[in-house]
Amino acid sequence: MPRNRPVIGISCYVEKVDRAPWVQQWSAVLPHDYVHHVEAAGGAAVILPPRLDGDDHLARDLLGRVDGLILAGGADIESSRYGAPPHATAQNPRPDRDSWELALARVSHAVDLPTLGICRGMQVMAVAAGGAVEQHLPDRVGTEAHCPVPGRYAAHSVTPVAGTRVSEILGAAPLDVPTYHHQGVLADSLDHTAYRFSAWHSDGTPEAMEDPGSRFRIAVQWHPEAGADARLFRALVASVP
């Protein structure tokens, strides 16, 4: 009998969508690039819509039915989740996503479920562990290199840290990645956690983190789903027993 495909849950958006003849219909949506990469890596994708009543008990029940998890990109986490006032550039809060994805992050860590965080997903994982977010990178780095044009992915170089799981997957040489973010994990906010940073931008922005004690727990600040490099998705699916 052929091996069953690992089931990978992916968090998603709830947005108003125009779908003729329907206009501004509330919909659970996700860029199909996520699904494509999971399926191409040998997994089966299921979408996990956000919910305001999401708690750790419900997250534990749901995550017991999947083999891996992707925490997807999206809007800024509400700054109150890490005890900070909002920056002037902060996007409108998404309390359903924040509540649900923070629960998914906590529980997936507790049960050692293979997990890949992408962009917002990296920030969710950091905040769930007690970290914080740098709310507007241009204030520190002085450029818009991480998100130069609204609605369009850019590219910049990141350098994996030798000896990390990220470098095992992607190599230790600098590589160009798709990017679209104005926030990032605050570099010194994870010192008390199990995470270590495993890739950096030259301007000092953390671009990846991982938990060396977990089976597979990696997060990247860039958007691998928007590019052709599928190695992180293949590694996630391959980590499932």
Whether the CB-CB separation of 210 and 164 falls below 8 Å is answered with yes
pLDDT for 54: 86
Active site annotation includes 223? yes
Q: pLDDT digit string (tens) for 164-219?
A: 999 999 999 999 999 999 999 999 999 999 999 999 999 999 999 999 999 999 99
* Cα(67)–Cα(192) distance, integer angstroms: 28
pLDDT for 241: 85
Chain-centroid distance of CA 7 in Å reads 18
pLDDT for 1: 31
Active site annotation includes 12? no
pLDDT for 3: 60
Residue 78 DSSP code: P
Active site annotation includes 146? no
Among 37, 181, 201, 223, the one annotated catalytic: 223
Whether the CB-CB separation of 28 and 49 falls below 8 Å is answered with yes
Task: Give pLDDT < 50 ranges for the chain.
Answer: 1-2
Among 78, 119, 201, 207, the one annotated catalytic: 119
